[in-house]
Amino acid sequence: MSQGMIRDGKALLKKLEDAGHEAYFVGGYVRDSYLKRGIKDIDIATSALPEQVMELFDSCIPTGLHHGTVTVMIGSVGFEVTTFRKESEYEAHRRPSGVEFIRSLEEDLRRRDFTMNAMAMDRKGRIRDPFGGRKDLEQGILRCVGDPELRFREDALRMLRCIRFASHYDLEVEEATWSGLQGNIRLLQHVAMERVRAELERLVAGDHPYRGLRLIADSRLLRHTKVKLQLPWVHWTVQELPDALASIGGLPNPAHRWMLLAHLMSLSPQSAVEEGGKLTFSGKQIARMSRFLSFSQRLREQLDAMRELDPLSCALIWKENVVTIGSECAQDWLDVFGVVPAALPSTDNGGGRWTIFLERGRMWLQEMPVRKAADLALNGQQLAAHLKREPGPWLGRALMKLTLEAAAGHVPNNRKDLLVFAESLTREWKNDA
């Protein structure tokens, strides 16, 4: 976060104060400032009512007036400004049925989830900490504000947030807080799958993902999602977590962490599609995961079929899979298993045989003249015209054959040589429609 944004935030506080209102930075900004960690955004709590906030600032978006929130725009940056409030009874263990605007900062902080998130800071950097958030952070503890049972019953999503915060900040969950979480795990069924997926994504992308995965296993939370997941992860105990999973934090790309997790669950490409859909991952994310698993599965099947390790045959296998499944998934495969080679399964002929793909796969990828049909110096229209045939299903198969041969270096990637090679294969396509 830029210093300019912080200066704008302080100026916003001053303007509210000059108008006779209390105003403080709250939430993640205070927590992460205290820990000297990177700041992503700034939230503000104030005694001013929403309409009073909108009167003071020229550019406002009524983000959530019912809940007292106005987004104040300063340039292109938005600051969420929320009136001090108390919350009434929660509906469906997710959100309050209504709010009451109040004048007390402490009462506003009392409704928050964890002590480290229940601190406020004025524009001069002085922290208001009525529930001991700083002490808990110093001692490495994550603790609910007030009664943990009540906090988790109010909003069941807080259970996943608890695990995410504990893993991301490397904190121990305080005993009563953990007990309250475990006593309410069945309430996760009230949380939309989109919110579950968002929390899991943040957890896996965090600083200590393996710790988070251990806490997920220990809590048994994922057994109680709204849509039942058919993932081995759901039923793993801490003792059953694969050893290679301990290296997940070594993968800098969160997408690769998910690929490692899916691989260690032995998911099929189809299972990845089905379970990814349940978790509301995007179509693009699911397709990439499925291709990665297909690539790995095909390599294993072809490697198992080899009686002896033949580098030339391995190179052809690799390049064929690049062409038929995609170069992105080949790169993903190298990135994942290059960091976590222990995750590679034993083949029927021994696990050490994978080494050749790890050692030479990147070189084979770089030396390929073509990686897909679009890279050919010949298109389908030109091929059909040269062979004097009407386009049909045969044409796609013909282009794939030419791509494979060009990728393997068996024919130069220029139109003349490709057409000559195609002529030699016309008998193979003669009876194709």
Choices 3.30.460.10, 3.20.20.70, 3.20.20.120, 3.40.50.620: CATH for 1-131: 3.30.460.10
Tokens coding 257: 């962490």
Please report the pLDDT score of residue 392 as a whole number: 86
Q: Give kind and range of the element (H or E) at residue 84.
A: none
Please report the pLDDT score of residue 243 as a whole number: 96
- Spacing of C-alpha 3 from chain mean position: 28
CB neighbours (10 Å) of residue 275? Answer: 21
Q: Does domain 140-241 have CATH number 3.30.1340.10?
A: no
CB neighbours (10 Å) of residue 175? Answer: 11
**How do residues 110-144 score in pLDDT, each as one tens digit?**
999 999 999 999 999 999 999 999 999 999 999 99
The residues that bridge with 68 in the sheet, in sequence order, are: none
d(CA 418, CA 375) in angstroms, rounded, equals 12
What is the mean pLDDT for each group of 10 consecutive residues in the chain (433 residues)?
A: 87 97 96 91 95 95 88 93 83 67 94 96 96 97 96 95 97 98 97 97 97 97 97 95 97 98 97 98 98 95 87 94 96 97 74 85 95 93 91 89 94 94 74 55
| Residue extents of the structural domains in the chain | 1-131, 140-241, 248-361, 373-429
Q: What are the DSSP calls for 135-176, one per residue?
A: HHHHTTEE-BSS-HHHHHHH-THHHHHHHHHHHHTT-EEPHH
Smallest CA-to-CA distance from 322 within 382, 389, 375 is with 375
Q: Are strands 23-26 and 43-46 parallel, antiparallel or unpaired?
A: antiparallel
Choices 1.10.246, 3.40.50, 3.30.43, 2.60.40: CATH for 373-429: 1.10.246
